[in-house]
Structure 1
Amino acid sequence: MAQFNYVARDRQGKKHTGVIQGDTKKMVHSRLRDRGLRVVDLQPKKETLWSKDIYIGNPVKLADFVIYLRQFSTLIKSGVTIVDSTRILINQTESKVLKKTLAQVEVDLNEGNSLSDALGKHPKVFTPLFINMVHAGEVSGSLEETLEELAEYFERQHETKQKIKSAMTYPVVVGFIALAVIAFLLIYVVPTFVDMFAQFDGELPGITKFVIGSSAWLIGNWWLLLLIIVIIGIGLYAMMQKPDTKYYIDLFLLRIPIFGNLLKKALIARFSRTLSSLLMNSVSILKAVALTEKVVGNEVFSRALGESRYVLERGRSMSEPLDKHWAFPPLVTQMIAVGEQTGTLDHMLGRIADFYESEVETATDSLKSLIEPLMIVVLAVIVGTIVLAIMVPMFELFNNVG
């Protein structure tokens, strides 16, 4: 379908502008007329290389998506139709990508498509998990409850992600500051003392020689250092696109002391919350595990869930392979086994998610209180070493002069 820029007016004379899809101008005129709009101007939208949308990952921020779901759920509960709710939310959302996507969803809804079908045409914005849960809600006639459940689910995901980010932000920021301070000292401060040290009668301390050598190398090869960093970054990104390589990177991340344990708790919370939400919305166990396998975000966990799906297809318990996997604590596998035996797997998974979300919150608070003094000490040691390397020969130089 082509895209058209339109200018139109409603029955009250209010001006409306936007982008709409259609095979022909006649079709677009008809669609706008059905929406109660009189076309003033309609022109095909010109696509250029620079106007094309290029995104890495989901182009809509999770925070914006959570707000959209909360508002959508509230409107549906208030008796507003899906089409009218979508039209209202087009004007409410601050995300340009979500606004544009919802405008296209509205067009599809007006043509008689179901909500899940309309959303399914935009896989970069709406995940398979989201679309499947909406479809389940439509089929069961419980779309209001499903939207509320989805809002809760994505809100919890956002909260957990923010807690992990807050725990990681401090060391990352301090690390960048430390690198900036070190670079400043080596590039601008240390060279000013080189000539002075050249007059020094005697052997310079080893630490001073090392610092001066590092300064000279950095001044002459800073571009090489930047090039190496860029190459490593591109290399890591390319490696993460391959499942086999990503598996070993994810495995390494889970094995890192302290941080790995926090990541594992967050992944268990995400896996159990996702699977619980799908099962509560009447998605079959096999399809629910398959969807969770795709969205869990870690290849180690994804492969473990793949093994669970394999044994489920053969009529056995999904807890069997998880029980043998080092990443899943006995508490998790035992509660899953009990849930399967009692027919309350969705509720058991919900309890697991509640527990580990609480664990993530506690762990992030503890981690921040541990990291702050540790990073300060590390920064002080690095800067102190450089300063000491400069000061020691200066003291000896002054003593010789005296």
Structure 2
Amino acid sequence: MAFQLENISKPVSLKKEPTDHLSFLKQEITFFNNTFSNKIKEDFYTEISVLLKAGVSLKDSLDLIENSQKKKQNKELLKKISQDIVSGQSLSDALKTHKQFTDYEFHSIKIGEETGTLAKVSEQLGNFFARKNEQRRNLISALTYPFIILSTAVLVVVFMLQYVVPMFQDIFKQQGVELPNITKFIIRVSDFLGSYGFVIFILLIGILVLQPFLNKKKGFKKIKDKFILKLPFIGNFARLVYLSQFTQAVSLLTASKVPVVNSIQLVKQMINFYPLQHALETVEQHILKGESLSKSLSQHKLFDDKMIALVKVAEETNQTEYIFDRLNMQYNTQVQQLSKMLSTIMEPFIILIVGVLVGVILIAMYLPMFKLSSVMG
């Protein structure tokens, strides 16, 4: 989604930029025709900010952005918002009527309208989604190659258990060789895969297909997010990603003069990660009881000592916006470093695990062969 400033006076004659052959690498991957994804929101708010600063009216800005859209759903959505503004509604009220926009966005835009800083707030929202999309791409980049290696390794192990082990099993039965315990275990695993392997495969495919719908269920989301948080390396990486989003959101809201309690309430709705949402619910309750933000955060292990110490300094010096902005920069740097480390560490780690599994299978199969050769000799 892009516009050209030289065409601002003539929205209908909007020209499209040349297509970059590698542009698909920069696109956010979405499923089930997701309307107004985070990638589109990043461009939407950034372009609104640029156009408003250039002196273009809000209505003309929305028309320009609408004309640059490729998806029919997005065009229709922006057209409805534009019609609502023409009918007398504010941009915030127009966004509130559409489920694609959260209360966080509604309140941020509303504050921008009331304070005359809509262009600045839109720019901050664009930066928020830009950072969020960047972190998502870092996560995908860090896990893609290890995932391919792991998938290939699983197929190799399954092939050995399904086809190689049964061949050895037939030989052992014919010769009446007494099998070691490790061989018996591998044969049991092979039999289990032979009986239930197809069912397990169907279940995995079903979970992948139904995941967008299951994510809307609070129970499934709770179990999945808690499981992710407990995974080695990945859990800490996910925690830092969401803490980075949390600090950036609080910094944005603080800059808009939103009270702390309201900021916590809005951030809960913006960041879809159950452990953080649950922690913020209790933080909100403690703040309402009169406790400070730093003390409320200290009661949850999700928030590290560095954040708690700096938040306490922010409360004492009244520099909340600056401190949370610094925290956001630090967490974002850590996310980038960890994403590179994950892709570097996980590859040899997975190869090591696969090597051990294959080695155990081979040893389990060849031990009875050695015993058989000694008996025949």
Fold equivalence (TM over 0.5): yes
- Please give the TM-score of this superposition, normalised by the length of structure 2: 0.79
| In 1, Cα distance between equivalents of 2:119 and 2:186 | 65
**351-360 or 286-295, which deviates more:** 286-295
| Offset of residue 198 of structure 1 | 3.8
Answer yes or no: is 1:306 the counterpart of 2:281.
yes
Aligned partner of 1:93 in structure 2 is 69
Answer yes or no: is 1:129 the counterpart of 2:104.
yes
Which of 333, 341, 344 aligns to 2:316? It is: 341
Is the contact made by 1:68 and 1:93 (CA closer than 8 Å) also made in structure 2?
A: no
Is the contact made by 1:286 and 1:313 (CA closer than 8 Å) also made in structure 2?
A: yes
1:188-240 deviation line (CA, Å, top 9, x unaligned) = 44444444444335324444443333333322333443466578889999997
**CA distance 1:359–1:242, shift in 2 (3 Å):** same
1:161-182 deviation line (CA, Å, top 9, x unaligned) = 2223333334433332222222
- Please give the TM-score of this superposition, normalised by the length of structure 1: 0.74
| In 2, Cα distance between equivalents of 1:367 and 1:385 | 27
| Offset of residue 352 of structure 1 | 0.8
Answer yes or no: is 1:319 the counterpart of 2:284.
no
Structure 2 matches for 1:3-402, cutoff 5 A?
59-123=35-99, 125-200=100-175, 202-226=177-201, 229=204, 250-251=225-226, 253-393=228-368
> One-letter code of the match for 1:220?
S
1:235-260 deviation line (CA, Å, top 9, x unaligned) = 99999767688657645543444333
| In 1, Cα distance between equivalents of 2:172 and 2:375 | 13
More RCO (CA 8 Å, sep 6+): 2
**CA distance 1:225–1:106, shift in 2 (3 Å):** same
**CA distance 1:399–1:70, shift in 2 (3 Å):** farther
SS of the residue aligned with 1:126?
A: coil
| In 2, Cα distance between equivalents of 1:321 and 1:285 | 12
1:63-85 deviation line (CA, Å, top 9, x unaligned) = 23222333332222222222222
Is the contact made by 2:294 and 2:311 (CA closer than 8 Å) also made in structure 1?
A: yes
Is the contact made by 1:64 and 1:95 (CA closer than 8 Å) also made in structure 2?
A: no
| Offset of residue 353 of structure 1 | 0.8
| In 2, Cα distance between equivalents of 1:112 and 1:146 | 21
| Offset of residue 261 of structure 1 | 2.3
> One-letter code of the match for 2:51?
L
**CA distance 1:251–1:217, shift in 2 (3 Å):** closer
5+ residue gaps in structure 1?
1-34, 37-54
Aligned CA-pair RMSD: 3.4
| Offset of residue 154 of structure 1 | 0.9
Give the structure with the higher percent strand. 1
**CA distance 1:172–1:320, shift in 2 (3 Å):** same
| Offset of residue 57 of structure 1 | 11
Aligned partner of 1:13 in structure 2 is none
> One-letter code of the match for 1:365?
K
| In 2, Cα distance between equivalents of 1:135 and 1:337 | 29
| In 2, Cα distance between equivalents of 1:89 and 1:239 | 33
Is the contact made by 2:42 and 2:129 (CA closer than 8 Å) also made in structure 1?
A: yes
| In 2, Cα distance between equivalents of 1:337 and 1:358 | 22
| Offset of residue 399 of structure 1 | 7.2
Is the contact made by 1:60 and 1:95 (CA closer than 8 Å) also made in structure 2?
A: no
| Offset of residue 314 of structure 1 | 4.7
SS of the residue aligned with 1:199?
A: helix
| Offset of residue 144 of structure 1 | 1.1
| In 2, Cα distance between equivalents of 1:287 and 1:128 | 11
Is the contact made by 1:72 and 1:86 (CA closer than 8 Å) also made in structure 2?
A: yes
> One-letter code of the match for 2:322?
H
| Offset of residue 143 of structure 1 | 1.1
| In 1, Cα distance between equivalents of 2:367 and 2:286 | 68
| In 2, Cα distance between equivalents of 1:307 and 1:337 | 18
**CA distance 1:212–1:249, shift in 2 (3 Å):** closer
5+ residue gaps in structure 2?
1-10, 13-30
| In 1, Cα distance between equivalents of 2:217 and 2:61 | 40
> One-letter code of the match for 2:95?
L
